[in-house]
Copies of this chain bind each other. A is one copy, B any other.
Amino acid sequence: MTDNLSATPMRLSAWGVTGIGEIRPNDQLGDIIVDACRIAPNGPLLDNDVLVVTQKIVSKAEGRMVAIDADDPLSHKALVEEESVRIVRRRGDLIITETKHGFVCANSGIDLSNVERGWAALLPIDSDRSARRIRDIVRAKLGVSVGVIISDTFGRPWRKGLTDVAIGVAGVAAVVDLRGTPDALGRVMQVTEVCAADEIASAAELVMGKASGVPVAVVRGVDPSWFRESSMQEIVRPPQEDLFR
């Protein structure tokens, strides 16, 4: 243990926020989350809690739903290309694209699950902004300073199974730089940048689940030193630094 680390181990806890109904275009998501957090067993929120909000309800509230022909798979595929800046891989029905945001994921992040038949949910235009807006409303209405992460469910190369990752952040570090921190043997660590936001999104997924319709979670007990201004630019790796596109 080094001087800058607490001897008391951190305790993390996470739970789903219940009572958030179906979200519709122009719903004020921040207000809805605040109201849900006022009701037991969800609240009250505390400073340095992290609210993890799934992309689907952000897209719905921000009017990012697009009508598709449910019987024509091509209407969906055309959207995938419109939302992308680059096709990274294509095999059969699977298209891996780079989105306008710089995310590399299947189908430009366009999702047909948990939306009505005949509709597709596009990713929010700027999920950092969506996160900041929720953070600002929580601060204004509840007087607490929380981090907000907009999460989505992405696949990845080499490993089966999806995990939840961050697509928008506000008020909590996206990547924590531990370079220069002494390791447990007192050696300075060379390269250890941890993607805190993705790990928090994954922890939140464990209490939200894909099928249960709980679209917001609270994660409490995140390292207090990680709360600061942030953006997805900390996570998005520029193409020229990337070996896989």
Binding site for B on A (CB under 8 A): 1-2, 5, 9-18, 41, 89, 91, 94, 96, 103-104, 112-117, 153, 156-165, 174-176, 178, 181-185, 187, 189-190, 192-196, 198-200, 202-203, 205-207, 209-214, 221-223, 234-237, 242-245
The reply to whether B198 and A210 contact each other, CB–CB distance below 8 Å, is no
The reply to whether B211 and A5 contact each other, CB–CB distance below 8 Å, is yes
Q: Which residues of B contact A209 (CB under 8 A)?
A: 5, 178, 223
Interface of A is mostly: loop
The reply to whether B206 and A10 contact each other, CB–CB distance below 8 Å, is yes
The reply to whether B198 and A202 contact each other, CB–CB distance below 8 Å, is yes
The reply to whether A211 and B198 contact each other, CB–CB distance below 8 Å, is no
Cα–Cα distance between A175 and B235 once the two chains are bound (Å) = 25
Q: Which residues of B contact A221 (CB under 8 A)?
A: 206-207
Task: Take A164-B199, A206-B200, A213-B1 as given contacts and tell me if A103 and B158 are in contact as well, using a CB distance cutoff of 8 Å.
Answer: yes
